[in-house]
Structure 1
Amino acid sequence: MVLDAIMTTWSQPEVLALAGLSLLLAVFWRVPIFGWLLYPLRLLDTFVHEMSHGMAAIITGGRFERFVVYPNREGLAHIRGGNRFVVVSAGYLGPALLGGALILLSATELAEQTILIGLGLGLALLCLRFVRNLFGFVAGLLLAASLVAAGWYLPPQPASWLFLLLMMHLPLTSANSLVDLMRLSVRRSQREQRTDAEVLAAMTHIPALVWALFWFVLALAIVVVTVTVAWSV
């Protein structure tokens, strides 16, 4: 098979490093001081979250009109049509799917620098096309330029570690965000904007907590499956 020809087996040290980094990111996410150090990555999560809504709308026959991102890492995608269930779910599953795709790419012969440049160019194009507020536009292009610069200028080893950080951060942040989402689903408040889980709860009459748990399990499953495939082929 073509896949067998290009995939390489992960070594045990790589897997151990992957597990250790995953644990550190999960811990740092919950520590306020370290959380701010991860602000650029967490801001990237918001871009991926909103773009996932939009891409899901396009795939299911709808229209992705625009989206905005704010300094507090909140965002809002403006969408028309599409499959409502898929579009709403994509916000939290999209980062996990992208992280899973990066995990699979990491086991190929494709250079990490090339992937980083591709990610940066893709983010830049999507920002130019869909972002419609000043902060989101500037922040998105800065993140995109950083990815391109990292892929272009970093030596192979530092680029490899940056890529490792990105590929694990995306699915982990999806899982961490879903933990917060579960808390919000349990503790209802006077929030002006409903969470994605609350939107589906209103549509299906299934509690928001159930949807949050469902997405949490799927996000973790994506990580487990992609790591298993990347390590075993």
Structure 2
Amino acid sequence: MRAMVEPGSQAEQVGRLLLAVFAVLALPALPFGTYLTYPFAILTTWFHEMGHGLTVLAFGQEFDRLVIYANGSGVAESRVSADLSPLASAAIAAGGPLGPVVAGALLILASARARLWRPALWAVAGAILVSVLAYVRSPVGLSVLPLVAGGLALIAWKAPAGAARFTLQFLGMLGALSMLRDFNYLFTEEALIGGRRILSDTGQIEAALFLPHWVWAAVILVVSALVIGGALKYALAENRRWPPRPRPPENTLQFRRGPRD
């Protein structure tokens, strides 16, 4: 019986990747599924809040600390100038959902080059540990994130090349789709986080600029889909599976025999 999907093909890689991401997103609905996916939930929160924090630093403001709560929610606490422009405020708010998309796309692109697989995993593990030392100030983050970083370092060190590549792509997809774990939050103007009711990311963009928050939520989703779709198309292209045939020297004659009549 002929296989529906060719082993090692682009379709197989995409299928495995989407299945793994779907499992992480869907398992919480099953009994004990929340416990199985808890480290991934904390990691997606880390992606999101570090997106805010790094955007704050990019605008020359102060990123104080990152707090991750036991329920998987989190907050990036920062100090910004009173005269910060509305555009900068909106960009900082958008850094939460869009920062992980950019980071995820870069990780997926790195998976297209075998020499980058392990260094990229080492880089992610190192970034998590540096953030824990510099910014994370909550028991959940301090206990879970170092374990995640250790697991990634172990994969980068010992895992087969195929597993390293899959992990890199999975991390990229996890970061890019981190907003889908809290899809309702993206289309909510306010949210209750850490016992406080605050504006959501899109609510802050609405307050800083114009148009309703749900319009900005839709824009973020479209941009995310385009960025990640382009990264996946590049990284999983079929012509990257095999090295190109060497071109003969220009002074070499080539003779080809056509089909018989």
Q: Would you say 1:17 and 2:16 are equivalent positions?
A: no
Larger radius of gyration: 2
Q: Would you say 1:179 and 2:175 are equivalent positions?
A: no
Counterpart contact for 2:57–2:63, Cα < 8 Å: yes
Counterpart contact for 1:178–1:216, Cα < 8 Å: no
Q: Which structure would you say has the larger RCO, counting Cα contacts within 8 Å and 6 or more residues apart?
A: 1
Counterpart contact for 2:176–2:224, Cα < 8 Å: yes
For 2:207 and 2:53, the matched residues in 1 are separated by 21
Q: Which deviates more, 44-53 or 138-147?
A: 138-147
Shift of 1:107: 0.9
> What is the match of residue 243 of structure 2?
none
Counterpart contact for 2:110–2:116, Cα < 8 Å: no
Shift of 1:225: 1.9
Q: Which deviates more, 26-35 or 154-163?
A: 26-35
TM-score normalised by L of structure 2: 0.75
For 1:121 and 1:189, the matched residues in 2 are separated by 31
Gaps of 5+ in 1: 1-10
TM-score normalised by L of structure 1: 0.83
Q: CA RMSD in A?
A: 2.5
Which amino acid in 2 is paired with 1:184? T
Change (3 A) 1:23 1:144: closer
For 1:21 and 1:189, the matched residues in 2 are separated by 31
> What is the match of residue 93 of structure 2?
88
Which amino acid in 2 is paired with 1:110? R
SS of 1:192 mapped into structure 2: strand
Q: What is the correspondence of 1:115-130 to structure 2 with a 5 Å cutoff? A: 115-130=120-135
Change (3 A) 1:152 1:226: same
Q: Would you say 1:99 and 2:98 are equivalent positions?
A: no
C-alpha deviations, 1:111-153, integer Å up to 9, x for none? 4233212210111011100111222122221221121122112
> What is the match of residue 55 of structure 2?
56
For 2:222 and 2:22, the matched residues in 1 are separated by 16
Which amino acid in 1 is paired with 2:229? V
Q: Which deviates more, 200-209 or 65-74?
A: 200-209
Counterpart contact for 1:93–1:219, Cα < 8 Å: yes
> What is the match of residue 39 of structure 2?
40
Gaps of 5+ in 2: 1-6, 241-261
Change (3 A) 1:178 1:139: closer
Which amino acid in 1 is paired with 2:188? L
SS of 1:72 mapped into structure 2: coil
Shift of 1:227: 2.3
Shift of 1:19: 4.4
> What is the match of residue 203 of structure 2?
198
Which protein has the bigger helix share?
1
Change (3 A) 1:79 1:182: closer
Shift of 1:70: 1.2
Shift of 1:36: 4.5
Change (3 A) 1:75 1:25: same
Counterpart contact for 1:120–1:144, Cα < 8 Å: yes
Q: Which deviates more, 22-31 or 158-167?
A: 22-31
Which amino acid in 2 is paired with 1:122? A
Change (3 A) 1:26 1:217: farther
% identical aligned pairs: 25
Shift of 1:166: 1.5
C-alpha deviations, 1:15-44, integer Å up to 9, x for none? 542245225524651451255533212210
> What is the match of residue 210 of structure 1?
215
Shift of 1:56: 0.5
Shift of 1:106: 0.8
